[in-house]
Chain A
Amino acid sequence: MSGPSDYQPTNPVLKWIERRLPIFGLVHSSFVAYPTPRNLNYWWTFGAILSFMLAVQILTGVILAMHYTPNADLAFRSVEGIVRDVNYGWLLRNTHAAGASMFFFAVYIHMFRGLYYGSYKEPREVLWILGVIIYLLMMATGFMGYVLPWGQMSFWGATVITNLFSAVPYFGESIVTLLWGGYSVGNPTLNRFFSLHYLLPFVIAGVVVLHVWALHVAGQNNPAGVEPKTEKDTVPFTPYATIKDMFGVSCFMIFFAWFIFYMPNYLGDADNYIPANPGVTPTHIVPEWYYLPFYAILRSIPNKLAGVIAMFSAIVVLAFLPWLDSAKTRSSKYRPLAKQFFWMFVVVCVLLGYLGAQPPEGIYVIAGRILTVCYFAYFLIVLPLLSRIETPRPLPNSIADDVLAKSGGKAAPMVSTVIALAVAGALFAGSAQSARAAEDDTPPSLSWSFAGPFGKYDRGALQRGLKVYKEVCSNCHGLSYIAFRNLADAGGPGYSTAQATAFAAGYTVKDGPNDQGDMFDRPGRPADYFPSPFPNEQAARAANGGAAPPDLSLITKARSYERGFPQFIFDFFTQFQEQGPNYVSAILQGFDDKVPDGVSIPEGSYYNKYFPGHAIKMPKPLSDGQVTFDDGSPATVAQYAHDVATFLMWTAEPHMEARKRVGMQVFIFLILFAGLMYFTKKKVWANAH
């Protein structure tokens, strides 16, 4: 895109087209011959990684839209239908959901890279501003996408974020009503969010084209921050940058695949596995991790309008960066002070993100305010000041010189590293303290056959768990996402189709209307779903002292507990995902007739050690000897709890075994591929040195 190209195809057909539409010349000059600085490091591959992520999101998104129903009554169930019934639906959904996080992860690295190397400075201001616009569009798209599954977090996230606009003076209420298409978040809101969520990625793609165009006009910045002067400073985009980018992408895919196949719920919120309920707000509303720093800024300001303004300014200020930082030297490599402050700023952002996920109380509020001030001070005070007082180190004469000087000494450990370590230590101490306080109420971590990369369900436990569910739990709890046919599915309890059919026939199912217009009862068929014990939620509520027993299909994914810092970081590497079954098992065993001192249990509730708040409406459901097993397993509450929790993990994720099996294959493949890419890249670059 840098002016007319002298490229001429030799093939006569291509020549014919080229004369009428010079598209091959355009591609050639933009992505083949385009000169790229030879000293780019791997931080520069994130541009390609982002293009890759945009493509992945559009592709999986278009496919998911083929199966998704944007209706408030059906959306949640249609997402479960994708995950449970569509061929590879679980894979597509995990990819799209984790993909959003990966997209943001990559964009943050890309932005910090731009910040560090001064990629926003003259003549790249427009390039940078287009990037800020893409980022804003991504935030809008990500937010609306998160609403679509129509779980509790979707619904309340939508409510909270749209209510930000109610802070606008005079017109606030009207704007919010306009956004909702109603008097509250509801079906019209979901419909328009779906429409826009489908539209915006293509708008992003359009702005990306402008971004790349601007990039190819101004040329890429580089770690030295000096413009290429001679041929020796650059290499052609293809094969050098192409192969390096592809290697970067292949490494990134390994990271991405870890989430898709092993930690699909690590970045999500358990509450979003509860269908949206306009009558109950989750105790702790948290946006997706990539909005957390801005959410922390919003909450730090005690005034509604000022908070909203601060939050939006925190993003908009980025667009003014080229003028706030007027230093002539681009790269922080040659700016000793700017470099220190840059790393401090990174730490501030990470900490703000951490605070955004904490409850807004006590020390967290104060810390949030201090960090908010730091955030803005970096842009409004530090950068303008530094550009006036800082003396940069001498720049290399050219990029070629910079490459030759690469073997220079390593910088001494920086102040910011020390700060980061100190902060991590403080966090650790803080959470260790709160962890000790909460230790008693945290469900014990049990060992599950399905944990870890090779985890498989214990068929015996699944069959016993089904028996416990059928004889005990099903009296009050539905299992409405499970069809009888599922009992014969691969990776499930291991029944044959005939057994599942016979099991189904043992149930009576309402069907109809028949030709006379009447509903009638008939024996269950494999395609039927487990019938719910109550005809509707009101009946369930009335029969159970005001608390409707939740449907159990997703309960092990819909319940969780805090693991705290730094445990949640270790969990990422150990693939710990079993909060749900731990919790279910703990609840079933946590009843106690003796209420400890200082806990008061209202009439009609029961004490349970592990239930949040300890007062649970469900009476102790299981006692020893209640259910007998044919396989000689002990008839104890502990055994029941283990088996039913295993069974409910399967009902929540029937394709877990397939997920882990495919995951292993993908990992072997990706590691092999990345290895080959590494050597290919080395071979290609050998010519450049």
Chain B
Amino acid sequence: MTTASSAGSTRRDFLFVATGAVAAVGTVATVWPLVSQMNPDASTIAAGAPIQVDLAPIAEGQDIKVFWRGKPIYIMNRTKKQIDEARAVPLSNLPDPATDESRVKAGHDQWLVVIGICTHLGCIPIAHEGNYDGFFCPCHGSQYDSAGRIRQGPAPANLPVPPYQFVSDTKIQIG
């Protein structure tokens, strides 16, 4: 191979690599919007804005279910008995240890607000059922206590507490 032709081939290699690299960049840039469009659109995001819930109509021992971002949220006005049960159990007995206090807002101890989606595979547990005065998931038998903590069954974690705060004594804002 002469010098001239080998110089030619490096120049050619560089050109091929540059073209290929630019093509690769273009492909990635094209794929981005094609994937990004799958994310929630602006109206879905806007519809997921915080909601306010009036707690006044919920009597002691009752609960309501509201929807936020398409998820059912249980709001439970717990009885004294339920609170005591939840606080009596030692943390070492819990698969996913968390104190009852950490799952409610201080000063509003009777109000339990949890996302009603079983942490096993997403079914909706039934309130006031099961052995722990809390929730029972009919799908595969997970049981949650009156603080929404997992006590028995295949679910690995406690029912999650959504972001919320009290805007007044009888009103919360979720989200």
Contacts and interface: CB of A to CB of B under 8 A. Distances in A.
Given A483-B46, A683-B15, A92 B33 contact: yes
A676 B19 contact: yes
Contacts of B42: 84-86, 485, 489
Contact of A81 (B15, B18, B34, B43): B43
A631 to B, nearest CB: 29
Nearest to B48: A527
A350 interface: no
B37 A527 contact: no
Given A677-B19, A680-B16, 15 more contacts: A63-B34, A81-B41, A85-B42, A86-B41, A87-B36, A89-B41, A92-B37, A483-B43, A525-B49, A526-B46, A669-B22, A680-B15, A680-B19, A683-B12, A683-B15
Contacts, number: 65
B58 to A, nearest CB: 12
A323 interface: no
A66 B22 CA distance: 30
A88 interface: yes
B39 interface: yes
17 contacts: A59-B34, A63-B34, A67-B41, A81-B43, A85-B44, A87-B39, A483-B43, A485-B42, A489-B42, A525-B49, A526-B49, A527-B47, A669-B26, A673-B19, A676-B22, A677-B19, A679-B15
Given A92-B33, A669-B26, A87 B49 contact: no
A59 B30 CA distance: 12
Identify the interface centre among B22, B34, B37, B44: most chain A CB within 10 Å of its CB: B37
B4 to A, nearest CB: 14
Query: Contact residue range for chain B?
Result: 20 to 34
B56 interface: no
A350 B78 CA distance: 79
B23 interface: yes
B38 interface: yes
Nearest to B33: A88
Nearest to A676: B19
A67 B38 CA distance: 9
A66 B38 CA distance: 9
Contacts of A676: 15, 18-19, 22
Contacts of A84: 42
B88 interface: no
Interface in B1-54: 12, 15-16, 18-19, 22-23, 25-26, 29, 33-34, 36-39, 41-44, 46-47, 49
- Determine which residue in B29, B42, B49 has the highest number of CB atoms from chain A within 10 A of its CB, and name it: B42
A86 B44 CA distance: 9
Nearest to A247: B19
A527 B41 contact: no
A527 B46 contact: yes
A558 interface: no
A683 B9 CA distance: 10
Q: Is the interface of A mostly helix, strand, loop or mixed?
A: helix
B72 to A, nearest CB: 16
**Interchain residue pairs A-B with the least CB separation, the first 9:** A88-B33, A527-B46, A85-B42, A85-B41, A676-B19, A87-B36, A86-B41, A85-B43, A680-B19
A86 B49 CA distance: 17
B49 A669 contact: no
A527 B15 contact: no
Contacts of B19: 673, 676-677, 679-680
Nearest to B29: A669
Interface of A: 59, 63, 66-67, 81, 84-89, 91-92, 483, 485, 489, 525-527, 669, 672-673, 676-677, 679-680, 683
A683 B19 CA distance: 12
B120 to A, nearest CB: 29
Contacts of A59: 34
B46 A63 contact: no
Contacts of B41: 67, 81, 85-87, 89
Contacts of A672: 22
Contact of A527 (B22, B34, B43): B43
Contacts of A483: 43, 46
Contacts of B47: 527
Interface string B115-152: 00000000000000000000000000000000000000
Given A483-B43, A527-B49, A683-B12, A89 B23 contact: no
A673 B22 contact: yes
A96 to B, nearest CB: 12
Nearest to B57: A515
A85 B12 CA distance: 46
Nearest to B44: A85
B20 to A, nearest CB: 9
Nearest to B64: A515
A87 B46 contact: no
A249 to B, nearest CB: 11
A681 B36 CA distance: 33
Q: Which of B16, B19, B29, B39: most chain A CB closer than 10 A?
A: B19
A499 to B, nearest CB: 16
Contacts of B38: 66
B36 A88 contact: yes
A665 B18 CA distance: 19
A676 B18 CA distance: 8
Contacts of B25: 669
Contacts of B22: 669, 672-673, 676
Nearest to A84: B42
